[in-house]
Amino acid sequence: MAIYKTAIEKPVTTVLIFIAVIIIGIYSFIKLPIDQFPEMDPPYITVMTTYAGASASEMETNVTKVMENALTSVDHLKHITSQSKDNLSMVTLQLEWGSNMDEAVNDVRSFVDMTKNNLPDNCGTPMIFKLSTSSMPVCAYSFTADETYPGLDKILNDEVIPQLNQVDGIGNISLSGSPDRYVYVDIDQQKLDAYGLTLEQVGQVVQANNLNLSSGTIKMPQEQYQMQVRSEYIESSEIENLMVTMTPQGQQVFIRDIATVKDTIKDLTLDEKTDGRESVRLVVAKQTGANTVKVCREIYKELQKIQKQLPADVKIEQIFDSSENIQNSINSLEESIGYALLFVVLVVLFFLGKWRATIIIGITIPIALIVAFIYLGMADSSLNIISLCSLTIAIGMVVDDAIVVLENITRHVERGEDPHEASIYATNEVWVSVIATTLVLVAVFVPMTMLSGMAGIMFHELGWIVTIVCCTSTIVAISLTPMLCSKLLKAKKVHVDENGNLVEDEAEKKTWYDRSVVHALDKLDEYYAKALGWCVGHKFITLMLLLAFFVASLLPVFTGKIGTDFMQEQDNARLTVKVKLQRGTRIEETLKTARKLEGRFMQIVPCIELINTSAGSNDEATISAMFSSTMNNTIQMTIRLPRKWNREQTIWEIAETLRQEMARYPEIIEYQCTTSGFGGMGNNSVDIEIYGYDFDITSKLADQCRVLASALPGARDVKISRDDDRPDIKITIDKEKASRLGLSSAMISTYLRNRVSGMASGYLKDDGSEYDIVVRLQEKDRNSISDVLDLTIPTPAGKKIKLSEVAQIGEYWAPPTIERKARQRIVTVSVTPYKTSLGELAKQVQANVLPQLDLPIGYSVNLGGSYEDQQDTFNDLVLLAVLIILLVYIVMASQFESLRMPAIIMFSVPFAISGVIFALWIAGRSLDMVGALGVVLLIGIVVKNGIVLVDYINLMRERGYELNTAIQMSGRSRLRPVLMTAFTTILGMIPMAISAGEGAEMWQPLGIVVIGGLTVSTFLTLFIVPVLYGVMSRHGDRDKQESLRKKFIFMDLKVKKNS
């Protein structure tokens, strides 16, 4: 028994099955985590190898090259890049998006194991890192304080972090800029020399007086006691009073005589300020698979609680919270879905004019959407931008099948049939064609699940969701819809009068709806039929006009009005400013500039809510250090702005204002103001990659590129990836002299380290925490080259010499980090577009920058960055479009059992492209990855209109109508269904296209593209398809009659009578 018949005969079962589906769906929905994008592992693996004492170029030859050669055979490798620094080599493999990372890591490990023997002997074991989403920070808070600032580290470590660690799903918590308590013993070099002491002696005294030792057991007649010497420092001031030595004159020398003891916070290397106040940044990462929104919300709640326990001057402020962005995006998409649903229902109500019918159709939408949640739950996915966008796309399509079924049933019922029987037989008539049209959609969306690369990650889920939703809607349309029709539709009411005549009930009375809407629609049908009649009569002119229209529509593309982008940047109310000062600038000087900038920024952009600044470097390798690379001469600021609906300027305008401000400072040699922040998705740049061996030549080329690129009107934030050479102080030891004095280079370097950076001399224990005690020279004895030459070094013989006696000192330029890509040295100049599109900028760079470069042999230039990703993605999408066109053609050809009909229908596709161009032009948008996807979707959506028309013309022809009559009749009859399906999809997309919510920049293009393409294509399909049908049919049909005659030739025989 057919599914629709069973459904109609067993209404209880049918309803309960769907209720069960809804319950499972709601359950899945509640369980679904919320995230920004579908779970995707960034396909990066880094192999880090240390080789103590090797310079950058040695590292490159001996380690990096060996590694690269071995690792190029890793499967799915896309790019191999590397960095060679002093002592460190980092080889990064970028694999294809969507590769299995566990397999890849194993692969990498085995290759690394194989090459281990080829590495230099003193190399450390190569370490393999996999970058995972869980290592990305999800939120950051700043803790500012005044009086309690020195104790902030302890408060955070002892009170805040342990509490936060209780939050479910929380990953690593790291602090940056927290003030470490240190006890410094700053020694005066001259006094040390005067007393004949060495720094090491002082250090040993400090260490030796700071211990707890067990010193045996004392046994008494009855008891036994452990004996301990307890002599650890309780107060740092105790150190001052230690005696170091006694002079030959008998004078005791205390530490206070030669040094000052400071119990303070660690010397400045990383300075962290929020709105100019001392601050500490707390960065939180989540565990893999944890729900970002939930983790962030919990942390926020926890911090609210903690705030109350903290000293009054400690303030907690949010620097960024990725969940806010996600939550807002998801909310605005959910809103779009809500409006889309409403619009679709209103369209159905408008065209059908009956509330019962509208309910029957409307009910398919939630059921189909809920099934999508079941899929998401089973696929371990989340409610994210992609999945919700997919649902918005699907909403307009899910009603189509139900409408076809309902219309046919209504037609039967209005003829006077019983709704029950009408439902069975009317569904029987259309169910095959309903499934066939769904197959067209499946042909569009299933290939999308096979996309590779970045687009694959993004659109895999979209493909599945729309496919599943559309299939569900078909199943609903041929089971639940007929069942509901059989129950809800009312048979035409008639009764018999006293004379036995049939009297139609007063239901025929014209309602408001009949008078206005139906009347208008009838008029429209009439006009359309007339226009169509004219077109069919003037086929050549019509086709020429349409062709001219199509060519004209392409003009904006050729005149460069439509740019291309990779992904729209989002206004997420957060700016990152990076400033580079002259190399070697002292941290204190950098800070002055930072304070100046902060002040000015606040002045020129009054709406800034918060500026978090870090400057200097954090020498501890923490996770957060991986994401913020600050050096002594660099400043990094995170600026928080009000949400975009609460301010007048866009984030890009503000960024531009800040850039102009920064351009005015002579000390700033490079600055960037980026809008993308963490996550790295919205990154938008054209990278000019310069390959070549010689540093001088490539640096010169890069500089030339920078100058040329900066002159381009739409270019901002031009940045060279290679740092300038770093000025270092090099100490060359005269080995002969040193060895005569019994010194080795190793000893000298240890002594130097002790004096300049300090000698670690134990810990001061306080309240369960340990603080370093560092013995070193006071600052004024070690802050110039002559001071360093004047350092006193003890010899094993007990003599004291000056460093200048055994060593020479010189300034020199340390070579920069050596970057390589594809096993060649590379320097990258990246350019960000402003008020222009990525594609335009790349074109400009290609036209104005690259030809002017004078490339020597062996040097090459290539465009990379987001531009390359964009090109890759667009290529993928073009391939996908071709695949989809072929599949759709196959499905339609088998549906019509004709090769000609699908070709006619395919003519609606070019006009969709015209519509896309117009829509983008009017909206002033560029075509990006999401928009391009919309174009691909359009192929499937617009052909549906053509199918409806051609199918009906075929029907009319089969019923024996003359060609032109058939065309006109079909046009008149199918206008409403075509308009209805088109309007449901168009109106379903409108909330998406005009949404102004957070993250809307990303999906707006999809809405714009689909609306533009579908509107123009629907309108023109109504003419081009019938006209082409006319052009292509006449000839064939005459032949058909002739060939039929030939087939049944027996009819021409003459029968002789009486034979």
Positions that interact with other proteins (CB under 8 A): 412, 415-418, 420-422, 425, 428-430, 494, 502, 954-955, 958-959
Query: For residues 613 and 275, what is the distance between their CA atoms, to the nearest angstrom?
Result: 8
- Reported in sequence order, the residue ranges of 314-456 that DSSP labels E, i.e. its strands, are 315-321
CB of 418 to other proteins, least distance (A): 6
- Tokens 């400013």 correspond to what residue? 577
CB of 1015 to other proteins, least distance (A): 30
- Reported in sequence order, the residue ranges of 512-626 that DSSP labels E, i.e. its strands, are 574-581, 610-616
Please give the torsion angle defined by the CA atoms of residues 516, 518, 523 and 524, in that order, rounded to the nearest 10 degrees: 110
State which residue, 641 or 901, has the beta carbon closest to other proteins: 901
State which residue, 411 or 753, has the beta carbon closest to other proteins: 411
Query: For residues 187 and 199, what is the distance between their CA atoms, to the nearest angstrom?
Result: 8
For the chain, count helices (H), then strands (E). 37, 32
CB of 417 to other proteins, least distance (A): 4
State which residue, 655 or 892, has the beta carbon closest to other proteins: 892
- Tokens 């990154």 correspond to what residue? 683
State which residue, 95 or 430, has the beta carbon closest to other proteins: 430
Query: For residues 304 and 706, what is the distance between their CA atoms, to the nearest angstrom?
Result: 47
Which pairing describes strands 818-821 and 800-802: parallel, antiparallel, or unpaired? unpaired
CB of 439 to other proteins, least distance (A): 16
Q: Amino acid identity, residue 572?
A: N
CB of 5 to other proteins, least distance (A): 12
Angle, helix 480-488 to helix 11-31, in steps of 10 degrees = 130
* Whether 244 contacts 201, CB under 8 Å: yes
Query: For residues 189 and 70, what is the distance between their CA atoms, to the nearest angstrom?
Result: 52
State which residue, 218 or 494, has the beta carbon closest to other proteins: 494
Residue 834 CB-density burial (10 A; 0-12 exposed, 13-18 middle, 19+ buried): middle
State which residue, 336 or 408, has the beta carbon closest to other proteins: 408
State which residue, 494 or 555, has the beta carbon closest to other proteins: 494
State which residue, 435 or 543, has the beta carbon closest to other proteins: 435
Query: For residues 400 and 365, what is the distance between their CA atoms, to the nearest angstrom?
Result: 10
Contacts of residue 412, Cβ cutoff 8 Å, sequence gap at least 6: 422, 425, 426
Query: What is the H or E stretch that residue 1014 is in?
Result: helix 1000-1047
CB of 959 to other proteins, least distance (A): 5
CB of 429 to other proteins, least distance (A): 4
DSSP 593-619: HHHHHHHHHHHH-TT--EEEEEEE---
CB of 954 to other proteins, least distance (A): 7
CB of 509 to other proteins, least distance (A): 21
For the chain, how many residues are written? 1059
By C-alpha distance, which of 93, 83, 44 is closest to 825? 83
Query: For residues 133 and 290, what is the distance between their CA atoms, to the nearest angstrom?
Result: 10
State which residue, 415 or 1054, has the beta carbon closest to other proteins: 415
DSSP 189-251: HHHHHHTT--HHHHHHHHHHTS-EEEEEEEE-SS-EEEEEEE---SSTHHHHT-EEEE-TTS-
Query: For residues 92 and 563, what is the distance between their CA atoms, to the nearest angstrom?
Result: 32
Query: What is the H or E stretch that residue 323 is in?
Result: helix 322-352
CB of 421 to other proteins, least distance (A): 5
CB of 944 to other proteins, least distance (A): 18
Q: What is the 3-state secondary structure (H, E, C) of 432-488?
A: HHHHHHHHHHHHHHHHHCCCCHHHHHHHHHHHHHHHHHHHHHHHHHHCHHHHHHHHH
State which residue, 335 or 414, has the beta carbon closest to other proteins: 414
State which residue, 422 or 573, has the beta carbon closest to other proteins: 422
Contacts of residue 125, Cβ cutoff 8 Å, sequence gap at least 6: 116
CB of 8 to other proteins, least distance (A): 13
Q: Amino acid identity, residue 133?
A: T
- Cα distances (angstroms) measured from residue 65 to each of 55, 58, 129: 14, 10, 19
State which residue, 496 or 1049, has the beta carbon closest to other proteins: 496
State which residue, 350 or 425, has the beta carbon closest to other proteins: 425
State which residue, 923 or 955, has the beta carbon closest to other proteins: 955
CB of 7 to other proteins, least distance (A): 18
CB of 424 to other proteins, least distance (A): 8
CB of 422 to other proteins, least distance (A): 6
State which residue, 440 or 939, has the beta carbon closest to other proteins: 440
The two tokens of residue 274 are 């929020």
State which residue, 226 or 501, has the beta carbon closest to other proteins: 501
CB of 920 to other proteins, least distance (A): 40
For residue 997, how many C-alpha atoms fall within 13 Å in the half-sphere facing its CB?
Answer: 19
Contacts of residue 369, Cβ cutoff 8 Å, sequence gap at least 6: 337, 391, 394, 395, 398, 469
State which residue, 425 or 695, has the beta carbon closest to other proteins: 425
State which residue, 129 or 961, has the beta carbon closest to other proteins: 961
Contacts of residue 690, Cβ cutoff 8 Å, sequence gap at least 6: 698, 701, 702, 705, 826, 827, 828, 829, 859, 860, 861
Q: What angle do CA 650, 655, 658 make, to 5 degrees?
A: 130
Which pairing describes strands 574-581 and 259-265: parallel, antiparallel, or unpaired? unpaired
